[in-house]
Amino acid sequence: MAKKKPKTSRKKGFSFRNLLSIILGIIAIGLLFYPIVVNYLAGQQNIKSVQKYDENLSNIGSTKVKELLSQAQLYNAQLYNEYIYDASQHIAWNKPIPNYNNVLKIDTTGMMGFITIPQIKVNDIQIYHGDSEKILGLGVGHVPQSSLPIGGINSHAVLPAHSGRVNDTLFTNLDKLKNGDIFYLHVLNLTLKYKINDIRIVAPNQVSSLSIEKGRDLVTLVTCYPTGINNKRLLVTGERTALSKVTPQEDIQRNQFGYNFWVMFGSAFLMFLGLVYLLWLLFGRKRNLYHVAARKIEKPVLSDGQLVGDFGEGFYLTDSKKLAFQWLDEFAQKEKLNSEELFLNVYRLKRIKKLSRWIFKDKTENWQNYINEKQGYGDEKHALVVGPAFTSDKKIMQYVLKTEEALRYIKYIKCLNINKLKKGGGIIDKK
């Protein structure tokens, strides 16, 4: 059987893994700031939309506002008398409503008002005619077969909105609300206050609780539930209460640890992992390597590698001080020197992927074969050989540079005097 030739690795200068780590770091930072930025932009857009709505309301004048309100009241009365939802009558939800898009219309945007839910920080979110996917992509919708959100007895407005969207909170934290909490509707020149008195989770086709109830002024907020699964509907119903009446729970904040908090927490955690990985790739493996010599060697040449070890001739380095001291004793005996007169030169390898090399990560059969074949001999195929030290029980690595070219890839760091090192300190030169 032909002997398998060792692989020679020559890679381009910039590491793919380094590039990948940088990309991961950028993505993680982007994920962290994305929900913050887009929610800020959505908030700014809401402010502009409300300002534009108020401006348009002022431009049409009080007479037109009264006319629009009167039309809406008539619309709600007609809806109650002719299109009332009563589950027992099996009235279809998709029954058309005459002139729907013209009621409460003050401009061409389709915006009929806005909603505020202080306890989950929903601030001035626009309410639009209709409940299509396009409308729900803009803000809060209005179910056409429900009463218009202008208040009044015998009315029940149904306002749906999305949840779980990172780019706009909308009704994401609706599930945090409790009975007794409040929300506000701002339509035309009206500000209406509703106190929550019913919260339920139903199947999408269970609509009986959305019926108009005689003598009551109700508004139901609707969103998909649970967030991300969306196979149910969360219905939060409030009944009209006096605007001047202060409820005990108005100042309670419900969403300190809401959906957006966990999105940002997860993004921050990903960013942390990305940065740790980046730092590990760029700096974590830049470990010190030690070489025993009778002098300080700033610019080594191959003849300085007087030690012949496991991987044959070459300039030997190790990442272990323990193995370095073992080499020191061997070197002292061979050269008949006092070990305390020797030096431990410290280096770091740089850009080794440009070198032809053979790396043994463990004490494998190939590692053993290489030692048996090359011990005491040269290796003309590889500029660098890395692998576990034969004499060490632990996974201590030794690095053998076998060409003058390879020696250009080591960086001198400092020199340690053995005698002084044993006494403490011992750095005699450092760059």
Return per-residue pLDDT of the chain as tens, 431 residues: 444 444 444 444 456 666 776 777 677 677 667 777 777 787 788 888 889 999 999 999 999 999 999 999 999 988 888 755 544 444 444 455 568 888 999 988 889 999 999 999 898 899 999 999 999 988 999 998 899 999 999 999 999 999 877 667 789 889 999 999 999 999 999 999 999 999 999 999 888 889 899 999 999 999 999 988 899 999 999 999 999 877 666 666 666 565 556 666 776 777 777 777 767 666 665 678 998 888 889 988 887 765 567 888 889 999 888 888 888 888 888 777 777 778 889 998 887 777 888 888 888 888 888 888 776 566 778 889 998 987 766 778 889 998 888 888 888 999 887 766 665 544 444 44
When divided into structural domains, the chain yields a total of 2
- Give the Cβ contact number of residue 122 at 10 Å: 24
Residues 204 and 131 in one domain: yes
According to the model, what pLDDT value does residue 371 have? 83
Considering just the CA atoms, what is the radius of gyration of the chain in Å? Answer: 38
Residues 112 and 243 in one domain: yes
Domain for residue 152, yes or no?
yes
CA distances from 313 to 139, 374, 378, 428 (A): 74, 8, 5, 28
The position carrying tokens 């969403």 is: 255
Residues 257 and 310 in one domain: no
Determine contact, residues 398/333, Cβ cutoff 8 Å. no
Residues 266 and 307 in one domain: no
CA 165, CA 77: separation in Å to the nearest integer? 36
According to the model, what pLDDT value does residue 90 have? 43
According to the model, what pLDDT value does residue 84 have? 52
Residues 232 and 294 in one domain: no
Residues 31 and 175 in one domain: yes
The partner residues of 90 in beta bridges, in order of sequence, read none
- Give the Cβ contact number of residue 7 at 10 Å: 9
Give the structural domain span for 98.
Answer: 23-270
Q: Which residues are catalytic?
A: 162, 224
Residues 299 and 359 in one domain: yes
According to the model, what pLDDT value does residue 390 have? 79
CA 39, CA 45: separation in Å to the nearest integer? 10
State the CATH number of the domain containing residue 188. Answer: 2.40.260.10
Residues 102 and 243 in one domain: yes
Domain for residue 8, yes or no?
no
Distance of alpha carbon 300 from the chain centroid: 47
Q: Where are the alpha helices (DSSP H) in 227-353?
A: 259-279, 321-335
Encoded tokens for 180: 């007794």
> 164 — alpha (psi -120 to 50), left (phi > 0) or beta?
left
Encoded tokens for 137: 């992509």
Domain for residue 13, yes or no?
no
The position carrying tokens 């003050």 is: 106
The position carrying tokens 């990309």 is: 23
Domain for residue 90, yes or no?
yes
